[in-house]
Structure 1
Amino acid sequence: MYIVVVGLNHKTAPVEVREKLAFKQHELPRALNILKDKNCIAGCVILSTCNRTEVYVAATEVEAGLGGIYDFLSKSCGLPLSEIRDYLYRYTLYDAVRHLFRVASGLDSMILGETQILGQVRQAYQWACEHGATNNILNTLFQQAISVGKKVRTATKIDQNAVSVSYAAVELAKKYFGKINGRSVLIMGAGKMSELTVRYLVANGVSTVFVTNRSYERACTLASEFGGKAVRLDELKKYLPTADILISCTAASHYVLKKEDVEPLLSGRKETMLFIDIAVPRDIDPEVGKIPGVILHDIDDLHNVVDQNLEERKNAAAMAEDIIEEEIDTFFKWLSSLFVVPTIISLKEKATQIKEMELAQALRRLSGLSEKEKNIVASMANSIVNQLIHDPIVNLKKYASTHQGHLYTEILQNLFNLEVKEESSRLNDVTCCQKVK
């Protein structure tokens, strides 16, 4: 059995191609059934997110598995393979396992070390399980991938440093206030950057959200999404002193807030107020930062945080690669052991069968032999067979401890035309009935 993956992601295909090959949740049962029905495919999992679509299969033959996936993807998007093939990548065997472990660990994501992908891998696997699409090998592979993803994050802390401007703003707020639970934020501007920032703030505990914008309707839309309050621009002076954090990202070409406007509003305030200006050009006059009790950061300060954190994530990623390599070896040792024992049993059974058949035929031709002579002939036949299969068995056991052990096993099966019992009935049988956490 061979592990094969074909996919595309944000690095290999533009969004207009990715969206053609994306699978909505309600489409997955039918898609999984189509894949599983192919003769060469014993199990499959489809991972589909906004940034990637990947099809993982356990195939009886590598090329047959690849061909089955290519045909499936082509028919799914209604385009000839020639139009999508250049956007697709393919991994087999060792590289396929390594790729999945890196994906689950966030090392192949648009944002290095992001955490969302681990949940998406878990969900893709659970869906495949629930629809009976997986097999023993994919069950073990995906359960270990999920475990690897958690291990990488725990051991390296790769997801602990903000690498987006919006989240860096949240990190700065935490730096100055400690916990931001129960804090209030005033958002100036209702564009995408403002939306991302307030989303992160609310997710981290901010309880009160005020939104002001040149378009009051847009302010209302954004505020309602987070259970906040829209504020008209002419009411800004009323609400600004009540906020703990002010995030500004408007499209204005001049300073929206100046020192002489802000200072009187904060004269009676006792607590520190954090101003974060992520607009270019800047919305907040740098002189505002000189007001007692005011801390002001602009976009360059945030970029410095992001650059420093990105470097930290790169260092963590190097540690993660070492963890992944160890886990790959563990997986392939398991996979090799799964194949080796039944292959050895089958080889011995076939050798014994041939020996017994040829020995019986020879003894019929050698009539008149004494029992002692018959035993000598039988002993010689046993000795020849045992010596012939001794080295293949010893070497196969040795290779079983390497990540290529299953390849040697497959080769031996093909060379001797062995009929090996289904490996899923053997030891370490893993099912997806257990809850994947």
Structure 2
Amino acid sequence: MEIVVVGINYKNTPLQIREKVAFSKSDLERAYVQLANNHYIKELVILSTCNRSEITAVVTEVEKGVQALKNFYYRFFSLEENVLEDYFFLNTSDEAVKHVFHLAAGLESLVLGEDQILGQVRDAHRFAHEQGRTEAILNKLYREAVTTAKRIKRETAISENSLSISSIAVKFIEQIFEDLNNKKVLVIGVGKMSRIAIENLMAKGVEEIYVTNRTKGHAIDLSKRYPEVGVIDFHDRYKMIPQIDIIITSTSAPHYVLKKEEFEKYYNKDNKVCIVDIAVPRDVDPEISSLKGVSLYELDALKKVSLENMESRMEAAKVAVEIIIEECIKFENWYHCLPVFPAIEGLKTYGETILAEEFESLTKRLETASKKDKELIEIVMRSLMKKIIKKPILNLKRAGEDQQGELYARVASELFGINGYSCKKR
């Protein structure tokens, strides 16, 4: 068994490609069902965010498991042959483990050290676990990665000057307009990214903010939290365009929520409109950018702003990497010891069986011994048994850490007659 990570991310994959392989929640449910019967893939976690789409898996054979995951991407999203080949990244074994730890800590994010990814990683693991697609290995890996990420945030300043994608979008808009006080803003979508954008807009002094969402009740709930925010019916979103200076959109819709033909009907060519689309897949028809006076910015345009405060975060990242190295070694030692754990349990059971048999035989011959004497004899015998098997157990663990666990476990099982115990990574 080996751990692998296969996917694409913002580092070398343009938005136009990333949006083709973005999983919605309903997609995830179907994806887990489709991958359930692949005999090369024993465990998996799918993570899909605006900047990445990747699958961490435990596979029986690396080459065949990786190819199965790549083929799945093409089949599931009905993609043309080889369209992803220049963009796929692959991590295996210890590098795959390190990737998951770095990911949870925000070291793989567009915004170094950002907080949102930790929740996304945790939710991805939880959902996979609910679908019955994670077992001992990935459960341990993701729990340790999340715990380590929390430790890094406590012990370093990596998140202090960090910005979320939503706050970067507002900062980006501020650079364009300089003064946002008298601007009117329409926010499409009511998810976490939209809420962060609203809070940042209010902090910048924006007084007129409107929100719209396909489910109007969710928008009304949001306006209760922010009384200053007005609610617009989703069907009336185009009618607001003549009054609006800025549009920020972040929905999970699989199609455009702003289309050029509808946008043109209401757009006043004498006005200037700034649109920031931070959704994946994109919410805004790219053709809208061809209209006079319209400035459309997509996710990849925000990279420059994300580099601000990078120096202080880079220093914190160095400390984070040291912590991750320490925790990765612990996980890798545990992982490489998986083949010896059944043998160790078998050895303990073997010792307990002998102890029980010999204690029973001895006490039958010591009919005059008191209850207290028999308890003392059992304590001494148990202590002796533990000392006898202590060295073999330590050597088995050491062999596991040296990646010789299967060999030593097999030998120990044969020597002590505990062949009923599996000696392979499960």
* Matched AA of 1:228: V
Deviation at 1:73, TM superposition (A): 1.4
Deviation at 1:94, TM superposition (A): 0.3
* Matched AA of 2:66: L
Deviation at 1:307, TM superposition (A): 6.8
2: distance between equivalents of 1:10 and 1:22?
12
Contact preservation (8 Å) 2:106, 2:118: yes
Higher deviation after alignment, 125-134 or 30-39 = 30-39
Contact preservation (8 Å) 1:10, 1:51: yes
2: distance between equivalents of 1:154 and 1:170?
27
Deviation at 1:137, TM superposition (A): 0.7
Select which of 207, 211, 216 maps to 1:210: 207
Select which of 183, 186, 197 maps to 2:181: 186
Higher deviation after alignment, 75-84 or 97-106 = 75-84
Deviation at 1:120, TM superposition (A): 0.5
Name the residue aligned to 1:34.
Answer: 34
* Matched AA of 2:327: E
Distance 1:136 1:423, change over 3 A: farther
In structure 1, stretches of 5+ residues that fail to align are 172-184, 212-218, 231-249, 253-304, 348-391, 426-437
Name the residue aligned to 2:320.
Answer: 320
Contact preservation (8 Å) 2:409, 2:423: no
Distance 1:21 1:168, change over 3 A: closer
Name the residue aligned to 2:333.
Answer: 333
Deviation string 1:197-236 (CA, Å, 9 cap, x unpaired) is 994562698698513xxxxxxx7569x9764379xxxxxx
Deviation at 1:155, TM superposition (A): 1.0
Distance 1:317 1:424, change over 3 A: same
SS of the equivalent of 1:27 reads helix
Larger Rg: 1
Deviation at 1:36, TM superposition (A): 2.6
SS of the equivalent of 1:113 reads coil
* Matched AA of 1:22: A
2: distance between equivalents of 1:306 and 1:48?
20
Contact preservation (8 Å) 1:168, 1:306: yes
Deviation at 1:337, TM superposition (A): 2.7
Contact preservation (8 Å) 2:116, 2:164: no
Contact preservation (8 Å) 1:71, 1:81: no
1:188-337 map, 5 Å: 188=183, 190=185, 199-200=196-197, 202=199, 210-211=207-208, 227-228=228-229, 309-337=309-337
Name the residue aligned to 1:86.
Answer: 86
Contact preservation (8 Å) 1:163, 1:307: no
Distance 1:205 1:163, change over 3 A: closer
Deviation at 1:44, TM superposition (A): 0.9
Distance 1:314 1:186, change over 3 A: same
Contact preservation (8 Å) 1:35, 1:68: no
Contact preservation (8 Å) 2:339, 2:405: yes
Contact preservation (8 Å) 2:181, 2:207: yes
2: distance between equivalents of 1:31 and 1:197?
27
1:333-352 map, 5 Å: 333-342=333-342
Name the residue aligned to 1:114.
Answer: 114
2: distance between equivalents of 1:395 and 1:70?
39
2: distance between equivalents of 1:328 and 1:312?
24
1: distance between equivalents of 2:5 and 2:133?
15
Deviation at 1:156, TM superposition (A): 0.8
Distance 1:155 1:135, change over 3 A: same
2: distance between equivalents of 1:118 and 1:399?
34
2: distance between equivalents of 1:85 and 1:168?
31
* Matched AA of 2:16: E
- What TM-score comes out, normalization by structure 2 length? 0.56
Contact preservation (8 Å) 2:137, 2:335: yes
Tell whether 2:418 aligns with 1:421: no
Distance 1:101 1:346, change over 3 A: same
Deviation at 1:84, TM superposition (A): 1.2
Distance 1:220 1:396, change over 3 A: closer
Distance 1:316 1:15, change over 3 A: same
Deviation at 1:423, TM superposition (A): 6.8
2: distance between equivalents of 1:73 and 1:320?
32
Name the residue aligned to 2:70.
Answer: 70
Contact preservation (8 Å) 1:7, 1:54: yes
Distance 1:409 1:190, change over 3 A: same
Contact preservation (8 Å) 1:91, 1:99: yes
Distance 1:116 1:201, change over 3 A: same
Q: Aligned pair count?
A: 291
Name the residue aligned to 2:4.
Answer: 4
Distance 1:199 1:123, change over 3 A: closer
2: distance between equivalents of 1:331 and 1:204?
42
SS of the equivalent of 1:78 reads coil
Contact preservation (8 Å) 1:186, 1:210: yes
Name the residue aligned to 1:103.
Answer: 103
Deviation at 1:79, TM superposition (A): 2.5
Distance 1:412 1:205, change over 3 A: farther
In structure 2, stretches of 5+ residues that fail to align are 172-179, 188-192, 213-218, 232-270, 274-304, 348-391
SS of the equivalent of 2:98 reads helix
Deviation at 1:23, TM superposition (A): 0.9
Select which of 402, 405, 408 maps to 1:409: 405
Name the residue aligned to 1:176.
Answer: none
1: distance between equivalents of 2:315 and 2:424?
40
Deviation string 1:287-336 (CA, Å, 9 cap, x unpaired) is xxxxxxxxxxxxxxxxxx98772211110111100010001011112222
Contact preservation (8 Å) 2:48, 2:54: yes
Deviation at 1:68, TM superposition (A): 1.9
Distance 1:53 1:394, change over 3 A: same
Name the residue aligned to 2:155.
Answer: 155
SS of the equivalent of 1:186 reads coil
Contact preservation (8 Å) 2:346, 2:421: yes
2: distance between equivalents of 1:166 and 1:116?
11
Deviation at 1:411, TM superposition (A): 6.6
RMSD: 4.6
Deviation at 1:153, TM superposition (A): 1.0
Deviation string 1:368-396 (CA, Å, 9 cap, x unpaired) is xxxxxxxxxxxxxxxxxxxxxxxx99875
2: distance between equivalents of 1:220 and 1:408?
62
Name the residue aligned to 2:130.
Answer: 130
